[in-house]
Amino acid sequence: MRLHKSEVKRVEELARASRFKDFSDADISAIVEAATYHTVPDGWAIIAESTPADKAYLILSGTVSIRRGGEEIAQAGAGDIVGEMALVDHKLRSATVIALTPLEVLNFTSENVEELQAKIPTFRDAITASTEERHG
């Protein structure tokens, strides 16, 4: 869903509150413009384990459960990126991600991620940091 101009500023502020807090206004605008904004109802799976990776999500608001083999292994919330590991590693999804609350997310395709990483070096750093945090 493309955002109405009046919503863009609010979403940019939500994005800024995440791991992109030190990014320039121009970088935040480029990230929001590249992504697709979605609202997701609670109970919906945004990522399914063992499926091909085609998207990553920046959670703007809400909480998700990250499950492997049906067992919760973690929760993530506003400011977290989910789905990036499989995109970066070029592997099948290692977990299912289910909305525990209604969500607002920015959805990035693999093409979006590649373009943003090439254009904004700090975006690459943010994705790498997110992946490394989860790999432990």
**Could you tell me the pLDDT band of residue 134, with boundaries at 50, 70 and 90?**
low
**Could you tell me the pLDDT band of residue 135, with boundaries at 50, 70 and 90?**
low
| CATH code for the part of the protein at 5-135 | 2.60.120.10
Instruction: Give Cα separations from 41 to 22, 59, 102 (angstroms).
Output: 30, 13, 5
Instruction: Give Cα separations from 58 to 20, 70, 73 (angstroms).
Output: 10, 22, 19
Confidence at residue 72, expressed as pLDDT on a 0 to 100 scale: 97
Average pLDDT value for residue range 37-48: 96
Q: Is the pLDDT of residue 13 over 90?
A: no
Sorted by where each begins, the domain ranges of the chain are 5-135
Local structure of 101: helix, strand or coil: coil
Q: Is the pLDDT of residue 67 over 80?
A: yes
What's the pTM? Answer: 0.85
- DSSP 8-state class, residue 77: E
Average pLDDT value for residue range 63-70: 96
Phi, psi of 64 (to 5 degrees): -120, 155
